[in-house]
Amino acid sequence: MEKAAGAGGRWIIGCNYRGGMAKLDISTTEGELRMALGGRLDADGVAPIWQQARAALDRNRALPVRVEAAGVDYCDGAGLAFLVDLRRHPRQGGAAVEIQGLPERFRRLLDQFDPAAFRSAPAARQAGEGIFASIGRSAAALGLDLKSQVAFVGEAGRALALALRHPRQVRWRDTLAVAEAAGVNALPIVTLVAFILGVIIAYQSALTMRQFGAEVYVADLIGISMVRELAPLMTAILLAGRSGAAFAAEIATMRVNEEIDALSTFGFDPVPFLVLPRVLAAMVVTPVLAVYADGISILGGAVTLRLFQVPLVTFYNEVFSWVQMHDLLGGLFKCLVFGLVIAGIGCLRGLQTGNGAVAVGISTTRAVVSALVLIVVVDGAFAVVYYHLGI
Amino acid sequence: MSGPLISVQGLAVGFGGQPLLEGIGFEVEQGQVLVIIGESGCGKTLLLKNMIGLYRPLAGRVLIAGTDLAASEGDQRRAVQRKFGVAYQSGALFGSMSLLDNVRLPLEEYTRLDDAAIELVARLKLSQVGLLGSEAKMPAELSGGMQKRAAIARAMALDPAILFLDEPSAGLDPVTAAGIDQLILQLSDAQGITFVVVTHELASIFAIADRAVMLDREARGIIAAGKPEDLRDHSPHPRVARFFHREAAP
Ligand SMILES: Nc1ncnc2c1ncn2[C@@H]1O[C@H](COP(=O)(O)OP(=O)(O)OP(=O)(O)O)[C@@H](O)[C@H]1O
Ligand SMILES: [Mg+2]
């Protein structure tokens, strides 16, 4: 097949390509563009000749094209695409592209594709919108989101009230399982974080207090700040990251798999069926975890203050003379609300999921972010209320 | 190439060390269409997944073009994997990509075609399964049957020598299902592609199969193998006859 470049405007491009081998031989003679094709037309074979073929067609837009394909001994999907590309090429004045001699079995495959159908670009997804449109859309989405959160709070509240009146209708077994996963299984991480928090705060304050000889008051500081603020906050943040995310991912996957649809066609309302057990479990588990975190972080402080020559007994007396019952109860009530908010928003984000694996990821992210924002808001609100109540 | 393209020898497959099927052996020649049949839950999908190397067989081996996939690693394994395409029973399209991108992905990774060429190859594949015009859709926006067809298009993307199809026409209307059958025949005739197809559709079995292998849960293995017509007319086994005559179990 190797030929030298001859006279009369002939040029030859032969491509020998490892393994697969396709040959293209292009010439212009007597007002006609001639392409002789041979060898194996597969992805490896056509990759190197495709560009030359396209370039030759572009250069001679007005000439009729004759493709001699008798030498083709194999043609797969990529080869067919190559031939369809030649056929669909836009020609001036309707100059034809004719493919001749293609073995019959490949011809049948080729003829099932109408070149005209592939001339236009494939339908694309809608392109990005202008800045004003997207601002408007975001604002509208924010409004809708607020509305759905309010509606959800209403529904969850109704479900809670119903549960109080008819406790037998609550799915206690699910509730227990969730409480175990969200509470018992969270003990190691809560222990770790609470202890470290206690150590760090004790150490940093003790360094400063030592200058005034007031190391012993670090005990009061630890006691009050942990019980009132830090332990509930830390517990809530851990719960949001562990269980809020888990609730959202689980319910979102159920939505994607049409399990939620299946539930509702059985007449089960997803709120009492899925949301209520999770919310109840979280409301029970959060205060318990917070009490535990109180204890562990105070222990961490006590251990640290030993380094500053404060005896355990002194530490103990300081903490318990200073921290009052209302401090503890105030912190725990806050935890009750944190649990409600975290579980509620996790379930809501799960129920709001769109379609596909990506949507599950988005829902989970949104659940954690919303939970963190709500924790801060709720905490701030409690600070104001407690201040006015004098707690 | 000499010898069969796929050779299954003394295969035992199952979960948790418990074999569900044992002593499975058959061969598939190049260009043949092999159909795997059997009642629901007898282990057809499991056998298929063992053949493509997703699970490690409990015993025996599967040779694809002479290579044991389960025993190979790295480049050798990838070279065998490139010889076949798989369409899973549930579609298993990538949910974050449009239909076109699902088909484009393997082409972009494994061929040296330029962008326009890849796009055209992918669109031809989609048009072969009747999905031209839906390129921009996301998998979640497709009907069940469309997802199935898209999965077939993606399996064909690299023009593999072997196509494994798990129930390609289940849930499709008769016209579309016949179209899939025609596609299988065309590809095996013109390009010599070898097919291993799991299917329950009697019409489809008679239309496409060169050979059928029937699995059975109670017998824990193959209870019949051969041309579908022979199985229908001459099999001594009552369960085989029931399957081909569409009779309920007594
Ligand atoms: N992950 C798994 N763990 C344990 N057992 C499984 C698992 N997946 C499937 N099975 C069991 O293996 C058996 C075979 O399953 P397989 O999916 O291969 O059936 P099949 O023949 O493809 O059925 P169908 O025609 O309904 O698709 C079934 O009885 C099923 O219960
Ligand atoms: Mg199956």
Write the pLDDT tens digit of every residue in A118-140: 888 777 776 667 888 888 888 99
Task: Identify the residue whose tokens are 């609300």.
Answer: A337
pLDDT at B2: 63
DSSP string, B49-68: HHHTTSS--SEEEEEETTEE
Provide the shortest C-alpha distance from residue B241 to chain A (in Å).
36
Ligand 1 center from residue B86 Cα (angstroms): 18
CB contact under 8 A, B156 and A105: no
Q: Do A96 and A181 reside in the same domain of the chain?
A: no
Domain finish residue from A58, A92, A118: A118
Write the pLDDT tens digit of every residue in B48-73: 999 998 888 999 999 999 899 888 88
Q: Do A78 and A171 reside in the same domain of the chain?
A: no
Q: Do A277 and A378 reside in the same domain of the chain?
A: yes
Q: Is A133 among the domain residues?
A: no
- In percent, the amount of chain B with pLDDT more than 70 equals 99
Average pLDDT estimate for A154-163: 85
Q: Do A187 and A317 reside in the same domain of the chain?
A: yes
Q: Do A162 and A92 reside in the same domain of the chain?
A: no
Protein residue closest via CA to atom 30 of ligand 1: B41
Q: Are strands A32-41 and B84-87 parallel, antiparallel or unpaired?
A: unpaired
Element (H, E) at B101: helix B99-110
Provide the shortest C-alpha distance from residue B230 to chain A (in Å).
29
For the entire predicted model, the pTM comes to: 0.78
Q: Is A127 among the domain residues?
A: no
pLDDT > 50? residue B25: yes
Write the pLDDT tens digit of every residue in A182-207: 999 999 999 999 999 999 999 999 99
pLDDT > 70? residue A250: yes
Domain finish residue from A118, A133, A162: A118
- In percent, the amount of chain A with pLDDT more than 70 equals 94
Domain finish residue from A90, A118, A146: A118
Q: Which distant-in-sequence residues (6+ apart) come within 8 Å of A194 by Cβ?
A: A231, A234, A292, A293, A296, A297, A300
Task: Identify the residue whose tokens are 């209708």.
Answer: A169
**HSE-up of residue A356 (Cα within 13 Å, Cβ side):** 16
Chains A–B, number of C-beta pairs less than 8 Å apart? 92
Query: Could you say which ligand is closest to the alpha carbon of residue B49?
Result: 1
Within chain B, which residue ranges are assigned CATH 3.40.50.300?
Answer: 1-83+163-250
pLDDT > 50? residue B16: yes
Q: Is A279 among the domain residues?
A: yes
Ligand 2 center from residue B137 Cα (angstroms): 26
pLDDT at A375: 95
B1-83+163-250 homologous superfamily: P-loop containing nucleotide triphosphate hydrolases (3.40.50.300)
Provide the shortest C-alpha distance from residue B187 to chain A (in Å).
8
Q: Is A128 among the domain residues?
A: no
Ligand 2 center from residue B45 Cα (angstroms): 4
Question: What's the number of domains chain A is made of?
Answer: 2
Strand, coil or helix: B42: coil
Nearest CB neighbour to B136, from listed A44, A77, A122? A122
Average pLDDT estimate for A272-300: 94
Ligand 1 lining (C-beta closer than 6 Å): B 15, 20, 38, 40-46, 89
Q: Do A62 and A162 reside in the same domain of the chain?
A: no
Distance CA A45, CA A17 (A): 7
Query: What residue numbers bound the domain in which A248 lies?
Result: 154-389
Average pLDDT estimate for B122-143: 90
Q: Is A132 among the domain residues?
A: no
Q: Do A165 and A83 reside in the same domain of the chain?
A: no
| b (16+ CB within 10 A) / e for B122-139 | bbbbbbbbbbbebbebbb
**At A80, is the pLDDT very low, low, confident or very high (cuts 50, 70, 90)?**
very high
CB contact under 8 A, A84 and B120: yes
Average pLDDT estimate for B155-165: 93
Q: Is A124 among the domain residues?
A: no
Distance CA A136, CA B99 (A): 30
Q: Do A94 and A225 reside in the same domain of the chain?
A: no
Give chain B's contact residues with A (Cβ, < 8 Å): 95-96, 98, 100, 107, 110-114, 116-117, 119-121, 123-125, 127-128, 132-133, 135-136, 138-141, 156-159, 186, 189-191
ipTM of the complex: 0.84
Distance CA B93, CA B85 (A): 13
Q: Do A99 and A210 reside in the same domain of the chain?
A: no
Q: Is A381 among the domain residues?
A: yes
CATH label of the domain that carries residue A110: 3.30.750.24
**At A297, is the pLDDT very low, low, confident or very high (cuts 50, 70, 90)?**
very high
Q: Is A140 among the domain residues?
A: no
Say if A85 is an interface residue toward chain B (CB within 8 Å).
yes
Ligand 1 center from residue A1 Cα (angstroms): 55
